[in-house]
Every structure is written in structure tokens, then in C-alpha cells.
Structure 1
Amino acid sequence: MKFTSFKQFRVAVRNYGIKNRCVMKFRPNNSKRCKAFCKKGYPFYLWALLMAIDRNKIQIKSGCLKHECTKDHKSRNVSVQWIAHNYLEQFRADLSWKVARINQAVRSNQSVGIRRLTVWRAKAIATRLLEGDEEDQMKMLYDYRLELLRTHPGSTIMFRCIIGMFQVMYVCLSPLRDGFLGSCRCIISLDGCFLKIFYRGQLLATVGIDANDCIYPITWVMVDKENYANWKWFLELLTADLEINNSHHWAFTSNRQKVSTST
């Protein structure tokens, strides 16, 4: 058999070991050769080396596929990474897949015992693979800002950082702003909610009421915490975007207070 890399060879051997409930080890394992053998030291082994003609290919040169060892009920090859990648399509179909059901599926399919913590970590990895890594996404905030400005000319997207550390992001898209000023009542509701993400924080938002008495989003801001300074910064940008110079005909509500729309 031929492989494109030693990594692909090791993955194939580990999958073979998981299927046959044998723990595989690799030694020596370098850029020129790799030996796979059974952890219990029984006859099974495989030697894989770089091909002499095509140096980009790995080929199994010799081996013994005979097993005389007993089956293992625990396998370290059934790792969090293996579970996350092997059951990725199931996670894609149901991202709310319960940890207990995942544990049961792995035990039934692979006939090995795994810990609940292993399953929980595998689910976290699968979630990052499907939804994206939050740390990588935070690094692309400035690219996200430029893309919003390109697709929504005239928008206001601002950041506030302290000593190079991100704290606040304000977003006011021009289509939403123009639509609110052109067709909505002069009623603005303010509220906030907690963000259940890795970096925590809170989302503050302002919404209006359209002609059908439905919620109309205006602006929102992501902050590290809800306090006077963040609300002040948010509302100053909001008044500038909506050009509120005289607030005598504006109505502001907070915390989902009921508003009569008949006036």
C-alpha cells in the first residue's frame, strides 16, 4: 500500500487498531521510516519507508498481520481528535447531540470504553470545526469591518481597544439606519444580553418599531461588560448616526418595557 505521508499511514494504522481493538505504537518514527507494532509486543508489525523513485510517497515494505493478543476494552487511539473527526457528519446533522448519546454510540460502534470528559472534549472540537474557532475569528475582526464597509457603504463600524486589547465593537449598517429614519416611529428600545461564547462579554442593542409593529434592528455593540462607560460610548455614537440633535420627539425605553404604538 502507498500513502502520501507518514501521517496518513499512522492514521490508517490507528483506524485498523481501533477496528480490531488493538493499541498501535510507532517506533522508530521519523522523516524517512516508520514502524507500526502492537503495544503488547505480539507478531503484528508494519514497516513503511520513503519510496526510492518517488520521494513524495510512502510505501509499506514489509509486515506481519498476525495477531495473537487479546482484544482491548480500552484504547488510547480512540482519542478526542479521532471521535471529533470520525463522527463529524453526525455532529453536523445534530450539533446539540447529547454527551451521553455520543458516549453510547462510540461504545456500541467501537466496543471500547471511553470517559465522559473525553466525549465532551471531542464535542467541543467538532463544534469548532463546524462553526469556526473563536480565537481565529477574533483575529479577523478588522477584515470583517472592511468587508462590512465594502458591502454597506456609509456604515459606521468602530472598535475601542485599551493597550492593544479589544474591548468594544460598534456596528451601525447604513441600510438599517436609513430604513429606520425613513419609515419607523421615533421609538428606540435599549437592552442587553450575555454572550455565551469563549470570551464572554455582553451584546447591547437598540431596536425600533416598524409600520407592522415588528422589531426593527438599528445598531448593536459587543462589550466586555455592561457599565455606564460602555453605554455612554454606545449612545453617543447612536445619536451621531441618527442625527438626534433635539430629543423632545424621541421616546426611549429599556429592558423590554411595554410601549403603546397607537400614539
Structure 2
Amino acid sequence: MVVLSRPKYAEFIEEYDMRDPHFEVGMKFRSFKQFREDVRNYGIKHMVVMNFKPSNSKRCKAICKKGCPFYIWAAPMIKDKNTIQIKSGIFKHECARDHKIRHVNAKWIAHNYLEQFRADPSWSIAGIIQAVKTNEEVDISRLKAWRARGIARSLLDGDEISQIKSLYDYRLELLRTHPGSTIKFKCTEGTFQGMYVCLAPLKAGFLASCRQIISLDGCFLKGLFGGQLLSAVGIDANDCIYPIAWARVEKENRENWSWFLELLGGDLEINNSQSWAFMTDRQKERKKMI
């Protein structure tokens, strides 16, 4: 009696197969998303444009844009609906190469050239275009290169929109690691307007060993949300700058400086300012406050 063993199908391994995509009947993928991404990378490597018709939760067919016999048919496995498997296909192209591959989009460039962006965050647009043309033999527009650089910076520096949603968690973490600190938010009708930070160790160190001299200044923030950074620093025993408190506000005006200085005065217990010296430039709003 001869026992027939079940055929063993190849499983797609993203770390290796995404670099040099290849296909065979029976190959398994974790999802349709992974399958389509692998097909797009295949199109980029072989300089062909791939279309997906149909493409839904039950089946997906990858075909060549130019109409050559190439096709890949994928669908969920019968016993495991979460695993996608190549059911049939013709894996050889008979068409000419295309130098305008839409699969080389801004997101793909950002992910595949992430280390170059990490080494040179200010990588020029012309340099990005030339690198893609040399390595992928694909022409991209300046707009696509600019978008790719923006996506890469978000990946490297973090998404500012998601980070600002974590401000309350950040406040609780600062209070947990620096007991006695003052972390205040300024909100108007539920909208975030500013954040004041005075860490307990810095406050204690200033009151214990620094002279009663405080320098005030503000500067622009060049991130996605902009705004102003207000700061108060002192001078330690070695005549070096000693940070005391800082705040992020929408703009530098009398209202925000009043809010900042009232909180600073409470932290430093300044009930009578006659024994204190304040230093600032001739900025109009700060001059009025002093």
C-alpha cells in the first residue's frame, strides 16, 4: 500500500522574498495585502506595471498592464481562510520594459531608501530622483521625491499628530518619574493651547544653589504645528546656563507670558520680586511683563 503525502507549498518570507520576488503555484501569503505588495515589488524589479482585477476579500488576480499572458491567481485556502495561496498562473512576461512604473510611489521610496534618509535627513530632491533612476531605472517627478522625503522624515522622527495625542500620558510619566514637578496644560474649549513644564529636580537645584537671576526668552518652533517655546533659565555657580522651566504656546503675547510667569512664580515661591533680577531682550511683550 502506497501512502501519498500531501504536497508542501512554499511560504512567503517577507525579509527575504520581498527583495527578490518570485512566484510558484501553491505559495502562501499572510494576507492579500502582502500578496499585492509582493507583486508590486516584482513589477518594480522587472520594470512592468501590474494591475489587480478582480481584487476583493475572496480573490485577487494580478495581470500585466500591457496585456501579455502573465497572470497570477490567488485566493484563500479552503481549510485556512486567513492564508492566501497562489492557485494558478503564468509567470513569464512577453512584453517590453516600462520606465514609468507607478508602483514606485512616494511610500515605497521612503521605506526602501530609509537608511539613506537616516544618514542624510536633508537629502536633496535632485539626489533622490537620481538615486531612484540609477538603482531602479525609473523616472520620478520632483513632487513624488518631495513626498517621499516627507514620509521618511515622519518614519524617522515620529508622527507629530499621534504624539500630541499622547500628551496626557507624557504628563503622567513625567509626574511618575519626577515627583513634585509642575506640568500644566492650557486649553480653550477643549483645544490644546499650551503646555508648561517645571521638573522638580531642576526647581530644587535652582533654589538651593543658584543666584536669584532669571533670563526669559522665546523662540519659534518649526514643526508641523508651529508655535513658540517660552523658557526661563538661571545661572549656576560655574556661570553656566541652568534650565528652570519652559512652555509651548501658540504665540508670544502678553496673555501667554502672564500664564507662564504666574506658574513660574508659584514654583519658585516668588512673593516679592524686589530681590530677584530678570534678564530679557527688548521684545515688546516681555518688556511689558518685566
Report the TM range for the smaller structure's normalisation. over 0.9
Larger mean CA deviation between 193-202 and 60-69 belongs to: 60-69
Partner of 2:140: 114
> Which of 221, 226, 244 does residue 195 from structure 1 map onto?
221
Partner of 1:126: 152
> Which of 43, 68, 74 does residue 48 from structure 1 map onto?
74
How many Å separate the matches in 2 of 1:88 and 1:79? 14
Q: Normalising by structure 2, what TM-score?
A: 0.86
Deviation at 1:256, TM superposition (A): 9.4
Identity of aligned residues (%): 69
> Which of 153, 172, 181 does residue 146 from structure 1 map onto?
172
How many Å separate the matches in 2 of 1:2 and 1:90? 32
How many Å separate the matches in 1 of 2:165 and 2:93? 49
How many Å separate the matches in 2 of 1:60 and 1:256? 71
Deviation at 1:95, TM superposition (A): 2.2
How many Å separate the matches in 1 of 2:164 and 2:282? 30
Runs of 4+ in 1 over 4 A off after TM superposition: none
Give runs of aligned pairs for residues 68-147 of structure 1, distance below 5 A: 68-147=94-173
Partner of 2:193: 167
The root-mean-square deviation of aligned C-alpha atoms, in Å, is 1.4
Provide Cα deviations, 1:13-44, integer angstroms capped at 9, x if missing partner. Answer: 00000011111110100111100011111111
How many Å separate the matches in 1 of 2:182 and 2:188? 20
How many Å separate the matches in 2 of 1:190 and 1:99? 39
| Residue 33 (structure 1) aligned with residue 59 (structure 2) | yes
Distance 1:23 1:256, change over 3 A: farther
Q: Normalising by structure 1, what TM-score?
A: 0.94
Partner of 2:8: none
Deviation at 1:99, TM superposition (A): 2.2
Larger mean CA deviation between 5-14 and 64-73 belongs to: 64-73
SS of residue in 2 equivalent to 1:72:
coil
Which amino acid is 2:87 matched to? K
Which amino acid is 1:77 matched to? H
| Residue 250 (structure 1) aligned with residue 280 (structure 2) | no
Provide Cα deviations, 1:210-256, integer angstroms capped at 9, x if missing partner. Answer: 11111111000000000000001110111110001122221111139
Listed as ranges, the gaps of 5+ residues in structure 1 are: 258-263
SS of residue in 1 equivalent to 2:274:
coil
How many Å separate the matches in 2 of 1:97 and 1:179? 42
How many Å separate the matches in 2 of 1:141 and 1:169? 9
SS of residue in 1 equivalent to 2:156:
helix
How many Å separate the matches in 1 of 2:246 and 2:281? 15
How many Å separate the matches in 2 of 1:256 and 1:196? 23
Deviation at 1:71, TM superposition (A): 1.2
How many Å separate the matches in 1 of 2:213 and 2:132? 54
Listed as ranges, the gaps of 5+ residues in structure 2 are: 1-26, 284-290
Provide Cα deviations, 1:183-221, integer angstroms capped at 9, x if missing partner. Answer: 111111000110001111010001111111111110000
> Which of 31, 34, 38 does residue 8 from structure 1 map onto?
34
How many Å separate the matches in 1 of 2:143 and 2:104? 13
Which amino acid is 1:156 matched to? T
Which amino acid is 1:24 matched to? M
Which amino acid is 2:277 matched to? A
Provide Cα deviations, 1:77-133, integer angstroms capped at 9, x if missing partner. Answer: 101111111112222233232222122111111001001111111111111112111
| Residue 64 (structure 1) aligned with residue 64 (structure 2) | no
Equivalent residues of 1:191, 1:256 under 8 A apart: no
Report which structure shows greater RCO (CA 8 Å, sep ≥6).
Answer: 1
SS of residue in 2 equivalent to 1:219:
strand
SS of residue in 1 equivalent to 2:251:
coil
How many Å separate the matches in 1 of 2:273 and 2:164? 36
Partner of 2:253: 227
